[in-house]
Structures are given as structure tokens and as C-alpha cells.
Homo-oligomer: A and B are copies of this chain.
Amino acid sequence: MIRTTSPSAFEPQPVSEKRESVGFDAGTAPVFGPAFREALVKLCAWRRDVRRFNTSVVPEETIDHLLDIAQLSPSVGNSQPWRWVRVMNPEARRAVQDSFRSCNARALATYSGERARVYAELKLEGLQQAPVEFAVFCDRATDQGHSLGRTTMPETLDYSVVASVMTFWLAARAFGLGVGWVSILDPDGVRQSLDVPSDWRLIAYLCVGWPLEEHVDPELERFGWQSRTGIGRHVLVR
């Protein structure tokens, strides 16, 4: 499906027009209007890294739909190197929690004084409450994509997995679900405890569920660890 476009083809359209298009696998290119864009900004603003969940069940069809959407993410050379592993087994979950606890204790030990006090009070994961957990790996040995685009920057394979996590995260929020990314883990230990191929590298461990609260400001800001700043926005012109 090809359509030649020009900037003028993207003039604001009534929202109702969007609903006339067919599914994403066919039809004409969609036009996104100002109402959608405004809602998209709100989605980004209210996304949050969620660590406080209620334990209500998340419908499996919602999870399936979110994974389908994550499949639409960009990947270097169309390699689709993401490997989404659903972690359900209580023993496997406990191994991840143990990894968090031990890594977090070591991280805490690197701080002192007031900063150590604040760190100790932060809630940095939702591993015991989240009804759904995913370990998301990069298959570094994949042939898909025939190495295109990753000769000089092989790390773009890992980045493609991050893109799929980000897509999942935004889509989940659109369903009212919260996602929390836990990185205070021993990635090799988690890989081994989940018994996945040794060529897979852990990129993200995600807690997914219904959030207990909604916030527009990051929890780390609210609890005095790190405020959002204006840094990095458009820092240099070359």
C-alpha cells in the first residue's frame, strides 16, 4: 500500500475519520489529527515506571494484544531480536526477587548519609505484587536481518529490544496498565535461572499490572531522589 504524501496531506482531520480506516494490516495510510496528538502527549506524560500494583488479574487477551503491538516496533535490519519470556513459575519469580534483593543491598552500600537514607526508602520494583512479569531478552545470535545495519554498531540489536519494550509500555498505559522496568538485577544470573539460550542477553525485566495510583510526576522526583530537568533537550547545534 503506497500513498504519495505531502505536508498538506497531514492537515488536521476530525477524529471520527480515523475510525473509518480498516485494521493496521491493510487500507490507506492513517492521518492523525490534533486530538490524537494531544492524547499521545498525555500518554507519554502519564506513562510512569510503576512499582505499586493491585493484584487484579490482567486479561490474557490484553497481554496478547500488547505483544502484537510490540511486534510492530522498529528493529535493525528487521531483525526482530526481542524474545519475550513470560515468567509465571513461582520459583522462577523468586529467583528474580532474590537477585533484586542482593543487587539492591549492594547498591545501597554504595551510598552514604542522607542519600543512603532516601535510597533505602525508595520502592524500586513491584515484583511481589505485579500479576504479570516478563523477562525481555535480545537474541544476539539471530540470523534474521542478515546483520544489516549492525556491522559498525552491533549494539543496535539490543536497542531494537528496547524499542519493543517502549512500544509495549506506551500501549499498556493506553489500556490503563502500569509497567515497571527493573534493572537492579544480575542479568546473567536471571538468564540462567530462566534457562534460556546463552546467546540471549537480558535487556529488561518488566512488572505489569493495574497501578494503585496515577501520577504525572516520576516517583523518584516525588521521593526526593532526582527531579526531572531540562537537560539534553536540544543541547547543541552543529
Contacts and interface: CB of A to CB of B under 8 A. Distances in A.
A146 B74 contact: no
Contact of A86 (B21, B89, B238): B238
Contacts of A119: 148
Nearest to A178: B5
Given A78-B227, A84-B233, A69 B44 contact: yes
Contact of A42 (B21, B181, B226): B21
Interface string A100-119: 00010011001100010001
A88 B187 CA distance: 40
Interface residues of A, number: 136
Contacts of A83: 232, 235-236
Contacts of A227: 78
A216 B181 contact: no
Interface of A: 1-7, 9-10, 15, 18-19, 21, 24-27, 29-32, 35-47, 49, 54, 56, 64, 67-74, 76-89, 92, 103, 106-107, 110-111, 115, 119, 122, 124, 135, 139, 142, 144-153, 155-156, 158-159, 162-164, 166-167, 169-171, 173-176, 181, 183-187, 194-196, 202-204, 210-218, 220-221, 225-238
8 pairs of A and B residues whose beta carbons are closest in the complex: A10-B176, A24-B45, A29-B214, A78-B226, A162-B162, A44-B72, A166-B166, A30-B42
